[in-house]
């Protein structure tokens, strides 16, 4: 009998990382597929659904402007709980560590529906770093019946927490599946948004080097973001020929300081969030990436692009150990020093590494789900 997989997600990174499994499961006769989006993000989620060609079966449309963690959590638990009272999938599948993940896992638990956790086992062992994601993924890990760990390190974290080893499998990270798919698409038949960003880069950056920036972590709101923006101001003043290209996250706590401190600088370019293929094209073309993003830390090493991470700790140590990622914190003097070193003519080449998988994680996840009791 076919198993029904209910994929529940709500934000940009979850959409990117679940898309490869959803697309594969839809073509797989072992499964019925339901796609339920909480709409924790609106525009940034829709951008990804549109690129991957995924139309949700249910859209709870729960995002509110500048939403609180508690308000969003209660809306998601109630929304998913009501849904699971009227339909009973064999599996609810969640990905990562957002509010959608743990709230959907709790609602599935209340309805005694089995939970599969994709990208399980990431840990910093500091409950405020990142905030609130470290606790979100721990709760999801306590509830999950099957854990898809991206790496051996992530599996070991779960086993150390007494999760039965037979419930944990190392699959690689599905983000590499999405990345490979998108790199091939950009090469063979580039979508309109890729062409548009390439034209934009040609017109505004030309042959000059550019640094690609993203940032959105809650633990950096306030002083951390002031420091990040002050660093970019200082670095942009160093050399008018180096460009700083920043697609700004739609969270108002990010938009406000970034627009206030970085608008109207001639070599700093603030863009809207970019569709996935356009962002991948920019990762390819840039000199290096300055970010606090989880997904970007995983993608950039396999593109051979250096990443400076504006955080003091990471749940993704594999990239750091491979020499493909460096933690620089959020202090202005540290960010400026490390970026200057990257831009210096004496900067050493960084290794290309792919500690997060071979692009076949979704396939492994579906095989495990087909076998799972």
- Is residue 293 within the footprint of ligand UDP (CB under 6 A)? yes
Q: Which residue in 132, 141, 301, 359 binds ligand UD1 (CB under 6 A)? A: 132
- Is residue 273 within the footprint of ligand UDP (CB under 6 A)? yes
Are the C-beta atoms of residues 65 and 252 closer than 8 Å to each other? yes
- Is residue 274 within the footprint of ligand UD1 (CB under 6 A)? no
Could you tell me how many residues of this chain bind ligand UD1 (CB under 6 A)?
A: 24
Question: Where would I find the H helices in 239-285?
Answer: 252-262, 276-285
Q: Which residue in 299, 315, 318, 338 binds ligand UDP (CB under 6 A)? A: 299
- Is residue 63 within the footprint of ligand UD1 (CB under 6 A)? yes
Q: Which residue in 214, 220, 231, 332 binds ligand UDP (CB under 6 A)? A: 214
Are the C-beta atoms of residues 309 and 338 closer than 8 Å to each other? no
Q: How many Cβ atoms sit within 10 Å of the Cβ of residue 293?
A: 21
Q: Decide whether 16 or 369 has the Cβ nearer to ligand UDP.
A: 16
**Which among 249, 269, 316, 364 is annotated as catalytic?**
249
- Is residue 157 within the footprint of ligand UD1 (CB under 6 A)? no
CB of 171 to ligand UD1, least distance (A): 21
Q: Decide whether 13 or 172 has the Cβ nearer to ligand UDP.
A: 13
- Whether 199 is catalytic: no
CB of 154 to ligand UDP, least distance (A): 15
Q: Decide whether 69 or 347 has the Cβ nearer to ligand UD1.
A: 69
Beta-strand ranges (E) seen in 161-301 are: 168-170, 210-213, 243-247, 268-271, 288-291
| Residue 15: its H or E element | helix 12-26
| Residue that has been written with the tokens 């603030």 in this structure | 270
| Residue 152: its H or E element | helix 152-160
- Whether 133 is catalytic: yes
- The candidate with the shortest Cα–Cα distance to 94, out of 181, 12, 177, 6, is 6
Q: How far apart are CA 196 and CA 208, in angstroms?
A: 18
- Is residue 70 within the footprint of ligand UD1 (CB under 6 A)? no
Q: Decide whether 97 or 298 has the Cβ nearer to ligand UD1.
A: 97
Give the up-direction half-sphere exposure of residue 223: CA atoms within 13 A in the CB hemisphere. Answer: 4
On the 0-12 / 13-18 / 19+ scale of CB atoms within 10 A, 270 is: middle
Q: Give the binding range for ligand UDP (CB under 6 A) out of 25-33, 117-125, 252-260, 274-282.
A: 274-282
- The candidate with the shortest Cα–Cα distance to 288, out of 298, 275, 278, 301, is 301
Which of the choices ligand UDP, ligand UD1, none does residue 295 contact, using the CB cut-off of 5 to 8 A by kind?
A: ligand UDP
**C-alpha distances out from residue 313 to 63, 126, 207, 272, Å:** 29, 9, 34, 27
Q: Which residue in 172, 257, 294, 357 binds ligand UDP (CB under 6 A)? A: 294
Which of the choices ligand UD1, ligand UDP, none does residue 65 contact, using the CB cut-off of 5 to 8 A by kind?
A: ligand UD1
- Is residue 327 within the footprint of ligand UDP (CB under 6 A)? no
Sign of CA dihedral 175, 356, 32, 189: positive
- Is residue 296 within the footprint of ligand UDP (CB under 6 A)? yes
**Which among 28, 97, 219, 318 is annotated as catalytic?**
97
**Which among 42, 218, 284, 340 is annotated as catalytic?**
218
- Whether 298 is catalytic: no
End-to-end Cα, the chain, rounded Å:
13
Q: How far apart are CA 315 and CA 130, in angstroms?
A: 9
- Whether 46 is catalytic: no
Q: How many Cβ atoms sit within 10 Å of the Cβ of residue 309?
A: 24
Q: Decide whether 81 or 329 has the Cβ nearer to ligand UDP.
A: 329
Which of the choices ligand UDP, ligand UD1, none does residue 121 contact, using the CB cut-off of 5 to 8 A by kind?
A: none
User: Contact residues for ligand UDP (CB under 6 A)?
Assistant: 12-13, 16, 175, 214, 216, 247, 273-274, 276, 279, 293-296, 299
Q: Which residues are catalytic?
A: 97, 119, 133, 216, 218, 249
User: Contact residues for ligand UD1 (CB under 6 A)?
Assistant: 11-13, 40-44, 63-67, 69, 72, 97-99, 132-133, 216, 250-252
């Amino acid at each position: 009998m076919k198993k029904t997989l209910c994929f529940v997600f709500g934000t940009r990174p979850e959409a990117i990382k679940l898309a490869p499994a959803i697309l594969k499961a839809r073509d797989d006769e072992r499964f019925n597929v339901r796609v339920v989006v909480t709409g924790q993000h609106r525009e940034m989620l829709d951008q990804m659904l549109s690129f991957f060609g995924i139309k949700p079966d249910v859209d709870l449309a729960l995002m509110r402007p500048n939403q609180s963690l508690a308000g969003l959590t209660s809306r998601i638990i109630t929304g998913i709980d009501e849904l699971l009272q009227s339909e009973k999938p064999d599996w609810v599948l969640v990905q990562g560590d957002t509010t959608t993940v743990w709230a959907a896992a709790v609602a599935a638990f209340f309805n005694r529906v089995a939970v599969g956790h994709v990208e399980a086992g990431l840990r910093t062992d500091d409950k405020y770093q990142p905030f609130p994601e470290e606790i979100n993924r721990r709760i999801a890990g306590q509830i999950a019946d099957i854990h898809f760990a991206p790496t051996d390190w992530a599996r070991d974290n779960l086993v150390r927490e007494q999760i039965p080893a037979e419930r944990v499998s190392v699959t690689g990270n599905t983000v590499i599946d999405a990345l490979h798919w998108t790199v091939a698409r950009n090469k063979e038949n580039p979508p309109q948004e890729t062409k548009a960003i390439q034209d934009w880069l040609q017109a505004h950056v030309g042959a000059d080097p550019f640094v690609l920036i993203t940032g959105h972590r809650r633990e950096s709101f306030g002083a951390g973001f002031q420091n990040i923006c002050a660093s970019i101001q200082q670095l942009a003043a160093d050399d008018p020929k180096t460009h700083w290209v920043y697609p700004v996250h739609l969270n108002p706590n990010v938009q406000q300081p970034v627009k206030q401190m970085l608008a109207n600088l001639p070599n700093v370019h603030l863009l809207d969030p970019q569709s996935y293929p356009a962002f991948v094209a920019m990762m390819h073309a840039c000199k290096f990436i300055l970010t606090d993003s989880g997904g970007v830390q995983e993608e950039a090493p396999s593109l051979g692009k250096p990443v400076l991470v504006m955080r003091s700790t990471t749940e993704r140590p594999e990239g750091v150990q491979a020499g493909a990622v460096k933690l620089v914190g959020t202090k202005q003097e540290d960010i400026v020093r490390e970026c200057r070193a990257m831009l210096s003519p004496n900067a050493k080449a960084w290794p290309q590494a792919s500690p997060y998988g071979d692009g076949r994680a979704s396939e492994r996840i579906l095989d495990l789900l087909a076998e799972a009791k």
